[in-house]
Amino acid sequence: MSTASDTYKTLAIPSEEILYKEKKSKFYGYAFPITSESEVKPLLDALKKKHHTAGHVCYAWQLGVEKIRYRANDDGEPNNSAGLPIYGQIQAFEVTNVLVAVARIFGGTKLGVGGLISAYRTAAQMALDTAKIVEKVMQLQFELQFDYPEMDKVMRIIKQHQWQIVDQRMEMDCSITISIRKNDEAQLQNMITAMHKVKLKAVEA
Residues 175/143, Cβ–Cβ less than 8 Å: yes
pLDDT for position 203: 78
Q: DSSP letters along 164-199, please? A: EEEEEE-SSEEEEEEEEEGGGHHHHHHHHHHSTT-E
pLDDT for position 3: 46
Q: What is the mean pLDDT of each run of 10 residues along the chain (205 residues)?
A: 68 92 93 93 93 91 90 91 94 95 88 90 95 88 87 86 86 85 84 80 75
Order of strands across the sheet with 56-63?
18-22, 25-33, 98-105, 56-63, 69-73
- pTM, full prediction: 0.75
Strand partners, 199: 145
Please state, in angstroms and rounded to a whole number, the distance separating the CA atoms of residues 144 and 7.
25
Residues 74/86, Cβ–Cβ less than 8 Å: no
pLDDT for position 172: 75
Decide: residue 73, CB within 10 A, 0-12 exposed, 13-18 middle, 19+ buried: buried
- Collect all residues with Cβ–Cβ distance below 8 Å to 106 and sequence separation of at least 6: 25, 55
Sign of the four-CA dihedral 182, 183, 187, 193: positive
**DSSP H or E stretch at residue 55:** none
Please state, in angstroms and rounded to a whole number, the distance separating the CA atoms of residues 88 and 123.
12
